[in-house]
Each structure stands twice: as C-alpha cells, then as structure tokens.
C-alpha cells in the first residue's frame, strides 16, 4: 500500500495532469523526470490523459505504473476515445484528488527539485500562480507546437501555451476551479 492509498487528507496531494495525444516518443522522459523528484515533493499523483492516441502512448505510460508505486505515488493512465486536449484535461480533473494541480504537456521535463519547491511556495494561504523554468523537448518539425517554447520560453504567454501551468485549488473549495472551456 502506498502513501496515497493511506492518506485521508487529499488537500496535501499534488496532482500532475498530462494531456497526451500520440506522445509515445516523449512521455517516458516526462514521467521519468517526475520520478526523480526529491522527497520534498511529498505525496503526488500523476494522471496521464491519453486522448484518441493512435500510437503506443497508453502502453508506454502504463509501463511506468510500478515505478510510481515503488515511490509511494500513483500513476493513472486514462485511455480516452475522444480527441481534444480540453476534454482530456476535464477527464483527468474529474479523477484528480490533489489540492494542487499541475498541468504539463508530455514534452516538459521537470527539474528534480521543482515539485518540492512548488509545494513550499504554496504553503502560504494566498492564491498564487507559479511557473518554473521549463525544459521542452526539441521540436521535431517546423510545424511542431513545441517550437513556441524555444522562441521565447520566458514569456508567460508562451509558457502557458506550451504547458507549464500550476493552480492551487484547495483555497477555493467553495468556488471550484470549474471545467476547461
């Protein structure tokens, strides 16, 4: 039994949500980086919302389930028939238990201290928005959406488009964050 299965106060759990469509080439590196997080990260659940994948994204992600369990964390892989990132995010949000939600794209590699640092910052009671330095896998082609991160990764609008969002929801229980549009 891992620490998430025995935990009754879910507000302390960090939920990392990764919407992924045909990301078999990238999902392992993203999940491996999450597994290298320091102990300061605390309890974490990761939800991969694979939406209308025609490649092996689901299988590749599921292969990491035991490694997450060995760390005391959970990895849930949703195999969604319908495509669309917003639908995938909403499906994952519906299953998420954590009071803090971190939304990543499959090409984002988190530094080992990131989740622990986010946890520390979010311990204060103020509503916050946070982002760290993102390392995004190189674009595969000129039309690849990851290209935007390499053009100006420091600009908030680019970071938001490329998958580096952190929301703290536990202070908003009377007014839930709601669904993605």
Give the span between the Cα atoms of 14 and 100, in whole angstroms. 5
Per-residue pLDDT band for 160 (boundaries 50, 70, 90) equals very low
Coil, strand or helix at 9: coil
Domain ranges for the chain: 3-170
Residues in CB range of 75: below 8 A, 6 or more apart: 31, 45, 46, 47, 48, 61, 64, 65, 67, 68, 69
Structure tokens at 102: 């971190």
Per-residue pLDDT band for 4 (boundaries 50, 70, 90) equals low
Residues in CB range of 48: below 8 A, 6 or more apart: 18, 20, 27, 31, 57, 61, 75, 76, 77, 78
Q: Quick one: what percent of the chain has pLDDT higher than 70?
A: 65
- Architecture of the domain whose range is 3-170: Alpha-Beta Complex (3.90)
The secondary structure of 56-125 as a DSSP string is SHHHHHHTTHHHHHHHT-EEEEEEESS--HHHHHHHHHHH---SEEEEEETTEE--TTHHHHHHHHTTSS
Single pTM value for the model: 0.74
pLDDT digits (tens, 9 = 90+) for 5-31: 555 578 899 999 999 999 999 999 999
Q: Is the pLDDT of residue 150 over 80?
A: no
């Amino acid at each position: 039994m891992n620490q998430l299965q025995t935990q009754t106060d879910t507000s302390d759990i960090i939920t990392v949500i990764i919407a992924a469509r045909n990301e078999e080439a990238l999902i392992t590196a993203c999940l491996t980086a999450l597994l290298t997080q320091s102990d300061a990260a605390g309890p974490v659940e990761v939800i991969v919302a694979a939406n209308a994948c025609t490649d092996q994204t689901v299988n590749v992600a599921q292969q990491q389930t035991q490694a997450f369990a060995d760390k005391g964390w959970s990895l849930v892989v949703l195999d969604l028939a319908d495509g669309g990132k917003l639908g995938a995010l909403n499906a994952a949000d519906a299953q998420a238990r954590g009071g803090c939600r971190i939304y990543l794209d499959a090409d984002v590699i988190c530094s080992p201290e990131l989740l622990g640092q986010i946890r520390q910052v979010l311990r204060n009671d103020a509503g916050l928005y946070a982002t760290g330095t993102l390392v995004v896998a190189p674009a595969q082609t000129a039309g690849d959406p990851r290209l935007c991160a390499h053009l100006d990764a420091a600009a908030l609008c680019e970071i938001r488009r490329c998958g580096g969002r952190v929301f703290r929801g536990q202070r908003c229980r009377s007014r839930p964050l709601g669904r993605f549009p």
